[in-house]
Structure 1
Amino acid sequence: MKNLFHILISLFCLCAMRGQSEIDQALRKFNNKSVPYITAENLRGNTPFLLLDTREKEEFEVSHLAKAVWVGNRNPDVDKITSIVPNKNKPIVVYCSIGVRSEKVGEKLLKKGYTEVYNLYGGIFEWKNKGFPVYDSIEQETDRVHAYNRHWGKMLNNATKVYGHRKHNN
Structure 2
Amino acid sequence: MAQSSSSSGNETLSMKIILAGIGKRFSKVTNISTNEVQKSVDDGSDTDEKRYLLFDVREKKEFDVSHIADATFIDESHSRNQKVGAVLKVVQERMTQNDNANNPLNVYMYCSIGYRSSALISEIVKDKEFEVLLKSNLRFYNMEGGIFQWVNEGRPIVDCNNDRTNYVHPYNGVFGKLLFKRHRYQD
TM-score by length of 1: 0.83
In structure 1, which of residues 77, 81, 84 is the aligned counterpart of residue 90 of structure 2?
84
Q: Which residue of 2 aligns with 1:148?
A: 171
Q: What SS does the corresponding residue of 1:146 show, helix, strand or coil?
A: coil
Q: Which residue of 1 aligns with 2:58?
A: 55
1: CA distance, partners of 2:179 / 2:109: 19
Q: Which runs of 5+ in 1 are unaligned?
A: 1-7, 165-170
Q: Give me the CA root mean square deviation.
A: 2.0
Q: Which residue of 2 aligns with 1:24?
A: 16
**% identity of equivalent residues:** 29
1: CA distance, partners of 2:26 / 2:73: 24
For residue 77 of structure 1, what is the amino acid of its counterpart?
K
Paired residues, number: 156
Q: Give the drift of 1:79.
A: 1.8
Q: Which residue of 2 aligns with 1:96?
A: 111
Q: Which residue of 2 aligns with 1:161?
A: 184
| Closer, same or farther: CA 59–25 of 1 in aligned 2, 3 Å | same
Q: Which residue of 2 aligns with 1:107?
A: 122
In structure 1, which of residues 62, 66, 71 is the aligned counterpart of residue 74 of structure 2?
71
Q: What SS does the corresponding residue of 2:142 show, helix, strand or coil?
A: strand
C-alpha distance after superposition, 1:31-71 (max 9, x if no partner): 32321111111111313321100000110000001100001
- Asked if 1:40 corresponds to 2:63, the answer is no
Q: Which runs of 5+ in 2 are unaligned?
A: 45-50, 96-100
Q: Give the drift of 1:158.
A: 5.8
Q: Give the drift of 1:99.
A: 0.4
Q: Give the drift of 1:17.
A: 2.5
1: CA distance, partners of 2:8 / 2:34: 15
For residue 84 of structure 1, what is the amino acid of its counterpart?
V
Q: Which residue of 2 aligns with 1:137?
A: 160
For residue 95 of structure 1, what is the amino acid of its counterpart?
Y
TM-score by length of 2: 0.76
